[in-house]
Structure 1
């Protein structure tokens, strides 16, 4: 909704029960975010404020699925008598996904689609005494409403702001697909001069009236740049369009990411008789021109500009899509602070605050409708898609940040009719026809911007179906080295497009690798979910795109981690490809982008995010050597550890690594390059190389079996280290091999959701057919914990469609029964994890042990049926 220019605390607010009263040139905008009653269908009633979703909790639990159904919101509305005769509207910025609005029990409007504004005229339904608003929202699956399926959660609710708009009988039209009724274009722009066209649509609900439409352009200082007045007579019930051409804006200040200069266009309806402002709308204006070139990339204001940015989902940690304005705006501020210049608003239009922030901060943007993965071949589905595209364009038309309208994403990812090729060809024809309709509609509604259709990396099928020939720009979502292949395949794909489609501009609209911020590795490999693999992955992609002029740009997937209820993996229900966590804490990858993109000198200890570490002492030493990394755009830097220099090193692709000998306790790190510096404090728990080394006191140790990664339990502040084969005098496993699932893309461990724990990585790897685990600890009292989970079996779930080389085989369940004994005494006889606890369920068994006579601790695993296993083990010395 358009922002009000001033806020007043008026007496009427107390009598109406409405808060957030605002007035803007004859119209009043009043927030209706408070005092709602809500219940699910047949559920209990609760008081809620907006924004609100009913799925903020159930999408995170262990139960598959989440509530997709009816939610009912009710609110009283007491209006002053002075409102009679006015045009009164309810403005909904987002309701998921089918909405019916009732006023005093009468249906006033229905709307389809979760992600665009709709405006409901309610004057005819009001009694101006004890009015009641009811909104029936439903996020059920409906085959005629996109999105049908996607890698994000379809939250339900009134999850964006709702307001009351009170306007005079003559007002800017509220009938045009949720728009402001005023549309601004810049037919000509250069550094010397610019022209502006303002197209206004006006409605009149009462008697004929003579008015003036006055449009004024203000610069950023508030000075008038130009002004035009048009005299109009508007009759009762008439809808009239007025076009004003302003041709003489001299030497305009140009809008760009470096200088996001905004003018302000204020359009007023003025009563000729009284000279009073009847209605008023304000819009941003940015003078810029741009073009995409298939050989040379993107140009803004005739200057080449490499587009580098990120996509964004709108949900936030523990809030779902019901995200307050301030947190949404902060996302764009974080993107700007990263050095990004582009936001892909994906996979749906988002809150008006987002593009307003892009305008202010200088972030170019694309916006798209949620036609994702697949379509339904019905007239209703097509109609809904076309309406969504129209609403998106109309509502966001005036934002200078927007340069692209998009309409499909990976639409051939989930192929239908694979067993009926003739029928599949018919489906492909329908997909192509829908794409062509959306593209043609977009070009008609807005000839000034580019169209974009986004494909996944299946080159042949998108070309064969013809989807690379329809849009003005082709988008490719590429995950070489993650969902398929190796990172080095990425550059080959870019070159292929340039060779085979030399006249078609393109962008890399998605790329990324999961980086669970709790997982670190010194030998990162694909699918280990480590931050370190994410860093290497992004280095390869950035280098490839920046070195090829014909690549218009690259858009990282994603700005922040986001909810995807169907995902399992190390952090169930969360897609971890974000450069920020879902709570918007930066990962090492975010720092890498700053090193690549920021114009000013930059130096950052990325490893500082890993503040608590542990590791085994180097042989005969009182330190443990582990890597430390910094990100920089400087040539070289010097690292000091506890005041001692570890030398000067040159940056390679904006990163520098040192091998640091960490001492037990606090370690002060300081990196210096010229007048730039950064510092961090790392707390290190040194583990003895052997238990008889009294210089390193043993306290406790947490060990992952079958793993090559570290895991940071940020809830209990524990760090888990990879296991090792048994070393006399120390500890380790004897016998067996790391678990490897039936899914060939996983190099070790499982990606299943482990029930009953938030520490899934502790249970997702294991040593299978283990014979023994030993601790050669000295005599004393110890607490021992054994961790188990049966990873094979349970409910068969659909493999993620995104895993393009996913050779998923049916799991072969085996009966697994084994005895566990400790120092020769039975501890867990005839343990049967599947039968006793269930599949993929966290099992933790603890005991206290007295070690005496130099016996140490030996845990033995004796098979009865099948192969014994152990997922993790934990030992703590008591005294």
Structure 2
């Protein structure tokens, strides 16, 4: 298996896992141009001040950097798809005799060319796998050329990236996410000796009882000088950093893969989400020209998908409680730093998730390392997503991306599933849509995946005519959103479990406009037909046309989304044969297919916003999945509730504690016992008559000797409102030369229109600039109102500004700052 994997010649330079003796992350001193050049010469030719050669103008940037950091969610334009250039100068000082100077890319979108001065040294197609450009000979030639004098010992490097539309690449531009461009993952300058470890794979296996483990090491080497012998040293330490294996041997170096060492481990420490125990490996490859080092980690775990039954890890049933992730964030798009990724993954773990599907492409090495260390099982997939099946170039890219994904992430114990595709039943890129050809190619990829890795399972989501191919299948079940009612979830899931040997439910959920809440979130449900299935079909994601459905006819409130999630989670506890599910998606993300959403161009199904601000739904998941005691009163972003005077209103709490006590304006309203099957909120709800005025609500939740508390305040409005007539603008100082502008839509008597969902557009004149294009409900210059209100921030730039707000049908509003 590993022999085949390495014979394909993957490039999996493991930085910063010390494969190389020296590496430098190149984040500073880059310039960027978002357009094409006539040739690379235009990036390096000498410029005379004021002459035509001084243009176009380059922008100073830091890496990681994405072309589409802001335009992906600009409400007024299509996002940029085309070429862009980066340039920098490097101090090259390789310490090794006959060493190699490499530029290692952790990911770049989507087609990339690398130059040293005017010499092209590498090209790569694929936005998500890692790859390496060898600069060695080009650097030597440049430093010996007359042009080098102008750079005073430094070496110019230019990189052209392009995310231009091309039907012969994957993923398809029909995908429901942006196909980003740029150096949006880290780039590293690497020095290695003439001989170094290109890949080292660790196959760790253990029996179901955990009594006996085995470890096999294999490697392929980077060996441009054709060295024939070297000394290889291996040191293995257990999770307590005790050495359990130390091995050294002179080996013969060949071009093929070499399996060079195996050993057994009695009663190994097992990896699991509860105890993600990791073994560490250090390797040293010694020759006369230097020592190359490599370090990494692995873990022992045994998993099984029982036929028509549950998932087992290390012999015990584990309900997979998961979500999904896109590499996308407010203000940066795909250019997420390690700190941003770490913050996101910690939020996922603290939500209580033990599983994640990385949709729909190989993701950053940082994500995989965090899944290993935090204890989050992984489904990772290649970006064969929608559109149909292309020609030979298309197929070659899919094969290569599968090889690279498996090769580069082989050692991660968190990974249990290799995904081969997503929604491949969705045509559109080509005149021909041939199910038999798609089936045949899916079969080829399935065989290739098992050839590369016999220890893991294969999977796809939503392509029924290929469900017979893969080990684990996920059909489309969107009960309560794209089809049917959420109360049909269990029935549809039981049918799906019976339909295939190994079932997993990837993708379910509801869009919610962050900050929008509803007193009657279910009032539209009577329009929704039942018994018609719960799958998503062509056009269901659109906001118009077709049969009644929540995605089109619902209010997109956080309230309805919480109810849907609450129902799904309580039902999952009653299905003993369920392997698990993954909610779509953890974080709101940008998509070119949804310009008319409440936040334009944003898929709003996240349980957190695109800026990682938790929605109310985050706490629903915690109440079912988290171990640490928690309590959350629904409505932290619901400042004004409404209804008739004396009308009973529900106050509800999400908590994982056995009992919760409610206090309103200092008075106790008693203790409620948690019962997950008592929908909604597991029985932690109180119906109280409300009157005009202010309410301070507090809860105390108890779990043994531990307690969790929460508090929220809101106003209850009894006045009914008429037709919207005016905009009220208010400002709040936010510090750092920034002001928040709040708008409220009111009727002629100044009564707030709390059910208003109109679009509002913001504008600014003067010195200030709107802090917009973030893809959040509080960071877009065009956005739907949340309960008749909206807000945006403006950077004053130490000057004066006027902010305007426009809602169709009422006079414009202005405020001077």
TM-score tier (shorter):
0.7 to 0.9
Q: Write the distance in 1 (CA, Å) between the matches of 2:637 and 2:163.
A: 38
Contact 1:763 1:788 in 2 (8 A): no
Superposed CA offset, 1:164-207 (max 9, x none): 1110011112xxxxxxx101102444522211000011233337
SS in 1 for 2:520: coil
Query: Structure 1 pair 639/608, CA: closer, same or farther in 2 (3 Å)?
Result: same
Superposed CA offset, 1:37-92 (max 9, x none): 11022652011110001211212222231111110001112223745621111101
**Aligned position for 1:137:** 161
Q: Write the distance in 2 (CA, Å) between the matches of 1:594 and 1:703.
A: 40
**Aligned position for 1:682:** 713
1:230 aligns with 2:257: no
Q: Write the distance in 1 (CA, Å) between the matches of 2:584 and 2:407.
A: 27
Q: Map 1:665-680 to 2 at 5 A.
A: 665=694, 667-673=696-702, 675-680=706-711
Q: How many aligned residue pairs are there?
A: 690
**Aligned position for 1:94:** 107
Alpha-carbon deviation of 1:320?
0.6
**Aligned position for 1:160:** 185
**Aligned position for 1:760:** 783
Superposed CA offset, 1:726-753 (max 9, x none): 9xx99799xxxx9xxxxxxxxx999989
Query: Structure 1 pair 491/617, CA: closer, same or farther in 2 (3 Å)?
Result: closer
Q: Map 1:427-442 to 2 at 5 A.
A: 427-442=434-449
Q: Write the distance in 1 (CA, Å) between the matches of 2:566 and 2:694.
A: 33
Q: Write the distance in 1 (CA, Å) between the matches of 2:805 and 2:338.
A: 46
- Pick the aligned partner of 2:300 from 279, 282, 287: 287
**Aligned position for 1:646:** 669
**Aligned position for 1:541:** 568
Q: Write the distance in 1 (CA, Å) between the matches of 2:266 and 2:806.
A: 73
1:596 aligns with 2:614: no
1:628 aligns with 2:625: no
Query: Structure 1 pair 76/137, CA: closer, same or farther in 2 (3 Å)?
Result: same
Q: Write the distance in 2 (CA, Å) between the matches of 1:404 and 1:512.
A: 22
Contact 1:704 1:762 in 2 (8 A): no
**Aligned position for 2:450:** 443
Q: Please report the RMSD computed on the Cα atoms of aligned residues, expressed in angstroms.
A: 3.3
Q: Map 1:32-431 to 2 at 5 A.
A: 32-41=26-35, 43-80=56-93, 82=95, 85-127=98-140, 128=143, 129-148=153-172, 149-173=174-198, 181-189=199-207, 190-206=209-225, 208=227, 210-234=229-253, 238-271=254-287, 278-414=291-427, 424=433, 427-431=434-438
Query: Structure 1 pair 44/584, CA: closer, same or farther in 2 (3 Å)?
Result: same
Superposed CA offset, 1:714-736 (max 9, x none): 95445669x9xx9xx99799xxx
Contact 1:294 1:550 in 2 (8 A): no
Superposed CA offset, 1:675-696 (max 9, x none): 5241314142x54649xxxxxx
Contact 2:388 2:425 in 1 (8 A): no
Query: Structure 1 pair 650/228, CA: closer, same or farther in 2 (3 Å)?
Result: same
SS in 1 for 2:14: coil
Contact 1:310 1:557 in 2 (8 A): yes
Q: Write the distance in 2 (CA, Å) between the matches of 1:562 and 1:80.
A: 41
SS in 1 for 2:72: coil
Q: Write the distance in 2 (CA, Å) between the matches of 1:152 and 1:339.
A: 26
SS in 2 for 1:230: strand
SS in 2 for 1:498: helix
Query: Structure 1 pair 754/332, CA: closer, same or farther in 2 (3 Å)?
Result: same
Alpha-carbon deviation of 1:626?
4.2
**Aligned position for 1:472:** 471
SS in 2 for 1:323: coil
SS in 2 for 1:76: strand
Superposed CA offset, 1:701-723 (max 9, x none): 89769xxxxxxxx95445669x9
Q: Write the distance in 1 (CA, Å) between the matches of 2:273 and 2:96.
A: 44
Q: Write the distance in 2 (CA, Å) between the matches of 1:348 and 1:35.
A: 29
Q: Write the distance in 2 (CA, Å) between the matches of 1:629 and 1:117.
A: 47
Q: Write the distance in 2 (CA, Å) between the matches of 1:845 and 1:763.
A: 18
Q: Write the distance in 1 (CA, Å) between the matches of 2:290 and 2:314.
A: 37
Alpha-carbon deviation of 1:404?
0.5
Q: Write the distance in 2 (CA, Å) between the matches of 1:60 and 1:668.
A: 37
Q: Write the distance in 2 (CA, Å) between the matches of 1:113 and 1:676.
A: 50
Contact 1:754 1:763 in 2 (8 A): no
Contact 2:110 2:126 in 1 (8 A): yes
Q: Write the distance in 2 (CA, Å) between the matches of 1:429 and 1:241.
A: 35
Superposed CA offset, 1:506-532 (max 9, x none): 101110101112110011143211011
Alpha-carbon deviation of 1:468?
0.9
Q: Write the distance in 1 (CA, Å) between the matches of 2:349 and 2:658.
A: 24
Contact 2:206 2:301 in 1 (8 A): no
Contact 2:213 2:266 in 1 (8 A): yes
TM-score normalised by structure 2 residue count: 0.78
Deviates further, 403-412 or 641-650: 641-650
Query: Structure 1 pair 70/627, CA: closer, same or farther in 2 (3 Å)?
Result: same
Q: Write the distance in 1 (CA, Å) between the matches of 2:584 and 2:76.
A: 27
Q: Write the distance in 2 (CA, Å) between the matches of 1:544 and 1:382.
A: 41
Contact 1:614 1:719 in 2 (8 A): no
Contact 2:109 2:162 in 1 (8 A): yes
Alpha-carbon deviation of 1:122?
1.3
Query: Structure 1 pair 36/416, CA: closer, same or farther in 2 (3 Å)?
Result: closer
- Pick the aligned partner of 1:511 from 486, 490, 508: 508
Query: Structure 1 pair 687/301, CA: closer, same or farther in 2 (3 Å)?
Result: closer
Q: Map 1:579-590 to 2 at 5 A.
A: 579-590=607-618
**Aligned position for 2:482:** 483
Name which one, 1 or 2, has greater alpha-carbon Rg.
Answer: 1
Alpha-carbon deviation of 1:587?
1.4
Alpha-carbon deviation of 1:489?
2.8
SS in 2 for 1:594: helix
Q: Write the distance in 1 (CA, Å) between the matches of 2:300 and 2:648.
A: 55
Contact 1:100 1:110 in 2 (8 A): yes
Q: Write the distance in 2 (CA, Å) between the matches of 1:402 and 1:117.
A: 17
SS in 1 for 2:71: coil
Contact 1:53 1:155 in 2 (8 A): yes
Query: Structure 1 pair 647/122, CA: closer, same or farther in 2 (3 Å)?
Result: same
TM-score normalised by structure 1 residue count: 0.73
Contact 1:310 1:343 in 2 (8 A): yes
Alpha-carbon deviation of 1:477?
3.4
Query: Structure 1 pair 98/689, CA: closer, same or farther in 2 (3 Å)?
Result: closer
Deviates further, 80-89 or 116-125: 80-89
Q: Write the distance in 2 (CA, Å) between the matches of 1:553 and 1:240.
A: 40
Alpha-carbon deviation of 1:247?
2.5
Query: Structure 1 pair 846/63, CA: closer, same or farther in 2 (3 Å)?
Result: closer
Alpha-carbon deviation of 1:670?
3.1
Contact 2:761 2:807 in 1 (8 A): no
Query: Structure 1 pair 452/752, CA: closer, same or farther in 2 (3 Å)?
Result: farther
Superposed CA offset, 1:410-438 (max 9, x none): 11134688xx9xx65xx111211221111
